[in-house]
Structure 1
Amino acid sequence: MVARVLCILGVIYIHLPPYTNEFPDPFLGAGGLFWFVRHGIGFASVPLLSAIAGYLAARPSPNASQGLQVRRKASSLLLPMILWNCIALCKDMAEHGMLPDPYVANILNQIFALTDFPRVVPLYFLRDLFVCMLLTPLLIRCLKSQELLCLGLLLANAVFNLDGLLLLNSPIILFYSMGLAAASRPAPPDGGARPGFRHGLAVVATVGLSFLAEGLPGESPFAQEIRRSAFIANSLAVAMLFWALSRWLVSTGRAARITCVEPIMFFVFCSHTLAIGLLWALLRRAGVEPWSATYVAFFLVAPLVILAMCMAGGLIMSRLAPGPSRILMGGRFPTFRELSSQSRRLFNRGQDIGRK
């Protein structure tokens, strides 16, 4: 649970302004900091979320048939994706009076993410995760018979994007399968060593590898494959760091403050781009420039600000429209009482809230 919270907060860094994919030049400055945080934390958080999903999927409900499990996953993954995309499109219509032409021309993908990213881009993850869920029985069978061969083929798929339109982000199924493989092994004892020098060195080294890969000229297939390889190596290193940090927090009893917000994190994942858009508009109206010291400070603490906004929005939604809110969240949305309890437990330093 701790790792899941950390990863979703990390994903927020991907979608913060300034909205540019250009490699920072010069690197020493605000642009380099944004790039480092996005690559060192943001982009690498999604694969670990995939591994956690695979780990949990390896232990399905014993009384649920395959068909029932598919229906449950469709309502908990695809339905929220569709609803949030529709909400975002309605927001666009309210702002502009009509949908932008590119959205209209690609409306099916904007809503359903059939062959391209949807309107709320990060929600493609739910679409790809649903595909992985459908393939889980086959993946488990292959992993049991030839684990190394299976993971090697999935690694090749992640680097060379061999699955075509099956997945929008090919590495997801690799990390999902790693989670499936980990679930077949004995569970490690609670706790773990404090994240140490080797974890930090692995992250710095692989982010440096990403730095070099991004500097490759052109968009040739070779350059793209090198970039994807660097991304996978970086993701593995950050996954090691996050997992070690999570186990250490559990072992020290410091995880309770983090796990108390876990029930709201799916809502944070689905709504954070809309919250970022609102904050960005307010910052620009206040005269904050994207390269200023004020914005750099905001960028670093933005995940916590978004978390606070989502908890406040969740309290309002759970009070005014609890039924629609649960449908919007695929049945995951906590009640008003649960959200109120989370808020008290998060800010009440003297309350013993136990461990998870």
Structure 2
Amino acid sequence: MDQELSARINIARLLLIAGIVFVHVPFDQDSNAYLGQYGAFDGMRVFLHDVLFRIGVPCLSAISGLLLFRKGFEMLDYRKILKAKFSSLFLPFLLWNAVFLAGIALLQMWDFGLGYFPDMFDASLRELVNLVFATETMPINLPLYFLRDLLLCIVMAPLIGLLVKRYPIITLSVLLIYAVLPVPNLIFLKKSIVFGFASGAAIALHGINIKKLDRFALPMISVIGVCALLLFIALYSNGMDDRPVWLQSFEKLVAVMGGLGAWTLTRLLLDTRFGQVLVQAPSGLSFWIFCTHYPIMMMAWLVWGKINIDFYPLFYVAVVPFTFLLALTSHYLAQQFAPRLYAVTTGQRTRSRSPATSPQMTERARLVLGKGD
């Protein structure tokens, strides 16, 4: 893969997953941001939770679609892909959910965690299967619904690839309507994932020069920022009331549009010191943070509930750095002292980043990156 594309994908993944951490900071009815009891602090929470960092899921799925089809539709080895994704997606999805479920069950034996999670000892077999495999609703490690829906996209990859190759405008239009409007989810838990995946596939299969977006980076980020601000005002004004259809659709549309802003932002960061730190991060770090942040936060939330401190902002400002610190520390320890376990739980994402020059690019990669200009 071209070095610049790889570097920008690394930046995007880490930034988007860091944002997803903010989305999953736990709260209850008494600390709901829409109550506005903490003024500007609650406004910030609404902006981060429901506006800014909602772009993560569709953008990450677009990256997955782009990478899967970067060599072209004809080069898609379906059996090889399914075998690879079994170890890189399904096994981590299964292990992280199963371990978290077992941990919650262990805590509930001492009456710790009841009310925050389903009662594992009263749950039916169907409910337990759903908590691990997300067959009907969200898994127990909630953010891993992304892996579940991404696996569905992988299984449907030949069909999605064929449709976006032959009928790109019609296919993406239908999927955008499906993602934005309040229509049934059908087999997906988050509808924007399949739209993002198909968009990435279309970019790869049609050799779209995504580098041309870079010249419009600041205007695009500005426009998306204005849309995000308008969405924030609408959401905060609506408060705890049921959201009308237009607001639900606008919220999802901004999340989908935000991926463009996130991608162009990676070009602005690429030549900065911060960007280079992200580029050189271990290949499994973003995946590790993605899989561990929710269990860490929920354990912190359980402990917080025992402390009986009513000032929620204290929990919020403490749990985010605590989560990153514990995720980074556990990542380092797992790499150093349990490399085989680390490899399995990160889907074999064990390669270190190399600043070496990139290998010879394919003609398709040149087109996508604009190297042929």
CA contact (8 A) 1:18 1:290 kept: no
Give the structure-1-normalised TM-score.
0.81
Partner in structure 1 of residue 148 of structure 2 = 127
Q: Which of residues 232, 240, 249 in structure 1 aligns to 2:252?
A: 232
Partner in structure 2 of residue 248 of structure 1 = 268
Secondary structure in structure 2 of the residue aligned to 1:114: coil
Partner in structure 2 of residue 348 of structure 1 = none
CA distance in 1, matches of 2:311, 2:167: 50
Unaligned runs of 5+ in 1: 346-352
Structure 1 residue 7 and structure 2 residue 16: aligned?
Answer: yes
CA distance in 2, matches of 1:195, 1:288: 44
**Gap change, CA 1:291 and 1:59, over 3 Å in 2:** same
Structure 1 residue 318 and structure 2 residue 316: aligned?
Answer: no
Partner in structure 1 of residue 4 of structure 2 = none
Partner in structure 2 of residue 173 of structure 1 = 194
CA distance in 1, matches of 2:310, 2:32: 18
Q: Which amino acid aligns with 1:212?
A: A
CA contact (8 A) 1:256 1:355 kept: no
Q: Size of the alignment, in residue pairs? A: 334
Structure 1 residue 17 and structure 2 residue 26: aligned?
Answer: yes
Partner in structure 1 of residue 106 of structure 2 = 94
The structure showing larger relative contact order (alpha-carbon pairs under 8 Å, at least 6 residues apart) is 2
Secondary structure in structure 2 of the residue aligned to 1:45: helix
**Gap change, CA 1:30 and 1:216, over 3 Å in 2:** closer
CA distance in 1, matches of 2:108, 2:240: 38
Q: How big is the alpha-carbon RMSD for the aligned residues of Structure 1 and Structure 2?
A: 3.3
CA distance in 2, matches of 1:58, 1:6: 23
Secondary structure in structure 2 of the residue aligned to 1:255: helix
Partner in structure 2 of residue 70 of structure 1 = 82
Q: Once the two structures are aligned, what percentage of the paired residues are identical?
A: 22
User: Residues 144-179 of structure 1: CA distance to partner in whole angstroms, max 9, x if unpaired?
Assistant: 222111111111211346564311111211111111
Unaligned runs of 5+ in 2: 1-9, 110-118, 359-373
CA distance in 1, matches of 2:281, 2:124: 34
CA distance in 1, matches of 2:197, 2:140: 24
Shift of 1:285: 6.7
Give the structure-2-normalised TM-score.
0.77
CA distance in 1, matches of 2:15, 2:107: 33
**Gap change, CA 1:207 and 1:118, over 3 Å in 2:** farther
CA distance in 1, matches of 2:163, 2:305: 52
**Gap change, CA 1:224 and 1:101, over 3 Å in 2:** farther
Partner in structure 2 of residue 259 of structure 1 = 279
CA distance in 1, matches of 2:107, 2:259: 39
**Gap change, CA 1:70 and 1:211, over 3 Å in 2:** farther
CA distance in 2, matches of 1:296, 1:330: 31
Task: Summarize the alignment of residues 1-356 of structure 1 with structure 2, pairs less than 5 Å apart.
Answer: 1-20=10-29, 24-26=34-36, 28-59=39-70, 65-97=77-109, 99=120, 101-102=122-123, 106-160=127-181, 162=183, 164-183=185-204, 184-189=206-211, 192=214, 196=218, 199-209=221-231, 211-212=233-234, 215=238, 223=243, 225-252=245-272, 254-263=274-283, 264-280=285-301, 289-292=310-313, 294-298=314-318, 302=320, 305-333=322-350
Partner in structure 1 of residue 113 of structure 2 = none
Secondary structure in structure 2 of the residue aligned to 1:196: helix
Q: Which amino acid aligns with 2:34?
A: P
Shift of 1:321: 2.4
Shift of 1:18: 2.0
**Gap change, CA 1:31 and 1:217, over 3 Å in 2:** closer
Q: Which amino acid aligns with 2:44?
A: L
CA contact (8 A) 2:175 2:194 kept: yes
Secondary structure in structure 1 of the residue aligned to 2:287: helix
User: Residues 62-84 of structure 1: CA distance to partner in whole angstroms, max 9, x if unpaired?
Assistant: 88731121121122112111111
